[in-house]
Each structure stands twice: as structure tokens, then as C-alpha cells.
């Protein structure tokens, strides 16, 4: 069969967009297939202060610069939620939730991770009713209200700082008594008068008002088991993420947690199928590591095709 593309990139985060730049500049017929807005987690990040060339830039601005660059050399931008990747003779079929099928000689998987849920009752039903996984998206809805952030890593601390421009108080709830974040992020949180930190507690259940919206969070001490009702008009969980690799699960190229196994060339065990960025088994998940992965995958895709 005639294949539509030489390189099809699934996902338009920093890694996917970098792969698109390298592949299309190399003269390959390239497309990005994305189910949402370009940028991945960049569009959910308030400020980026560790990407070379920018002392400080908003995640949305950086995402749009990358997006425009990714299309500058002829790459197509397609919308679709991928459900499976099927190896065929000479390439791959990529199936989407709408029934559309795309074909390509090479596939680069770059769909990153999805936010981990708290695992509390009615969590799915409360999204948009005070429960949010994106402070940049929803923080402005809670002006002059108290809000709660769950987590102790960089994302939890950075988004807590962001929320202080709207909320009158931000309470960080963390399981341990030490942060898992950079020293700079810790310092910013600890000197902000709007932020309170509650250590050695875990979420137990949501508190709801008479309209079924979030009114707070019941939290439990990991040491004594005692519970506290913590008031807040919104809860923002930042407790980690899981790989968005469900569409590759039947191919035998992931570990037990779903992270894709690749070699230093970003190659999976299936020739012509590459994976990059946060969805791969790696130690550091950052914008710069994703962009590096994208350039390596695209260059190796060019070599593979020629």
C-alpha cells in the first residue's frame, strides 16, 4: 500500500516538535498527530526558568514558539487520539479513536505522561468542580479563595507559587517531611507568606458543599492516623504521572509501569518505531531531555529510511 508519510510523530510536546523540525528539515514527509493543544505539559506550566536561552518564559509562549518552528519546514499538523500502532510491511498503521487510519514508514511516539490521580471517591466526577490538574488553566477561577495543592515535587511547588497571585492562601499537603523539588523552588515556597505547608499527611476524602462542589479536603496523619478537615475551594494534585503509552501496550516494548524501552538511539525493539521524552524509561524528565531525544530519533529515522 502507499504510505502517507515517511515520519509520523505521535504527540506535540517539546520532544515531538523537535523531532518534527529535524525530520522535516531533512526533507522527510513528516506529520505530527496530536489529540490536544500543541505543547504538551508546557501549556500547563506557568514559568520555565531552566530552558537554555530563556532566563524566564511562560510555558505557553515557549510552546507556541516551538509549535511555529516545528511547522516551518513543511511538517503537517493533524488531530487525532491514537488507540493503537500496527506494524505492517514497510511501515505502520496508526489507528485513531475516530476511526481514521494513518500510515507511515516510521513512527516516533512522543505522548509523554498523564497526571496521576489521588484515588479518592468521586474524583472523576469532581474535575471542573474544584478539582484541577492544571493551575495555569484554572487558577484564575479561585481569586481570593483558599486552595490546596497535594505534592512535594517541582510541579507542586512551582504551581503553588503561581496560585498565590489569585488565591488568598495556598496550603501544600505532602506525605513526607522533605521536598522532592529543586532548592530554588523550595526557597520560593518557604518565603512566600501566602503558602502554608502541612507535612506527613495524605488525602483521605473530598469535602463537598451543598452544591456538590469541593469545599476542602479531609487529610490524615501518616503517623497518628488522626484526620483534619482542611478548607479550600479547589484541590490541585501534583503527585506524579504515568506514561501515556496505552496504544503501544500490545507490542511488547514497555516495562511493567508502561514506560517504553529504548536504546540510546531512541529505537524500540521494533525497527522503524522510536519513542522519546517522558514516556520512555529514563532518569531525568525535563524539556531539554525531551528535545534531545527528539533530535536523536529524527536523525536516526533519516538514517533508517536511507
Active site residue: 134, 145, 182, 242, which one?
134
**Contact (Cβ atoms closer than 8 angstroms) between residue 84 and residue 213:** no
Active site residue 134: yes
Work out the burial of residue 177: count CB atoms within 10 Å of its CB; fewer than 13 is exposed, 13-18 middle, 19 or more buried.
exposed
Catalytic residue among 75, 138, 278, 293, which? 138
How far is 229 from 208, CA to CA, in rounded Å?
11
Q: What whole-number distance in Å separates Cα of residue 290 and Cα of residue 19?
A: 10
Which of 137, 177, 229, 255 is an active site residue?
A: 137
Q: Hey, CA dihedral for 63, 68, 74, 78, is it positive or negative?
A: positive
Environment class of 202 (CB within 10 Å of its CB; exposed 0-12, middle 13-18, buried 19+): middle
Q: Which residues pair with 284 in a beta bridge?
A: none
Residue 75 annotated to the active site: no
> Does the annotation mark 137 as catalytic?
yes
List the catalytic residues.
134, 137-138
Amino acid at each position: 500500500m502507499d504510505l502517507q508519510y515517511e515520519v509520523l510523530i505521535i504527540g506535540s510536546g517539546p520532544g515531538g516538535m523537535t523531532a518534527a523540525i529535524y525530520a522535516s528539515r531533512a526533507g522527510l514527509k513528516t506529520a505530527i498527530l496530536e489529540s490536544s493543544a500543541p505543547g504538551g505539559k508546557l501549556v500547563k506550566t506557568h514559568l520555565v526558568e531552566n530552558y537554555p536561552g530563556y532566563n524566564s518564559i511562560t510555558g505557553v509562549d515557549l510552546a507556541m514558539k516551538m509549535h511555529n518552528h516545528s511547522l516551518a519546514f513543511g511538517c503537517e499538523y493533524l488531530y487525532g487520539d491514537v488507540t493503537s500502532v500496527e506494524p505492517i510491511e514497510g511501515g505502520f498503521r496508526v489507528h485513531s479513536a475516530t476511526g481514521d487510519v494513518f500510515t507511515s514508514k516510521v513512527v516516533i511516539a512522543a505522548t509523554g505522561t498523564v497526571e496521576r490521580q489521588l484515588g479518592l471517591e468521586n474524583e472523576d466526577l469532581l474535575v471542573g468542580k474544584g478539582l484541577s490538574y492544571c493551575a495555569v488553566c484554572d487558577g484564575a477561577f479561585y481569586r481570593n479563595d483558599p486552595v490546596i495543592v497535594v505534592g512535594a515535587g517541582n510541579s507542586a511547588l512551582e504551581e503553588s507559587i503561581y496560585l498565590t497571585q489569585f488565591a488568598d492562601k495556598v496550603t501544600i499537603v505532602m506525605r513526607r517531611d522533605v521536598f522532592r523539588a529543586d532548592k530554588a523552588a523550595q526557597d520560593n515556597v518557604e518565603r512566600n507568606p501566602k503558602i502554608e505547608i502541612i507535612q506527613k499527611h495524605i488525602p483521605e476524602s473530598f469535602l463537598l458543599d451543598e452544591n456538590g462542589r469541593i469545599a476542602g479536603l479531609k487529610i490524615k496523619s501518616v503517623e497518628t492516623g488522626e484526620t483534619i478537615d482542611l478548607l479550600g475551594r479547589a484541590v490541585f494534585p501534583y503527585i506524579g504521572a504515568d506514561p501515556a503509552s496505552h496504544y503501544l501496550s500490545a507490542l511488547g516494548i514497555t516495562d511493567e509501569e508502561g514506560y517504553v524501552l529504548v536504546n540510546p538511539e531512541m529505537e524500540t525493539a521494533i525497527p522503524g518505531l522510536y519513542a522519546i521524552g517522558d514516556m520512555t524509561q529514563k532518569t531525568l524528565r525535563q524539556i531539554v531531555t525531551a528535545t534531545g531525544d527528539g533530535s536523536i530519533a529524527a536523525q536516526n529515522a533519516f538514517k533508517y529510511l536511507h
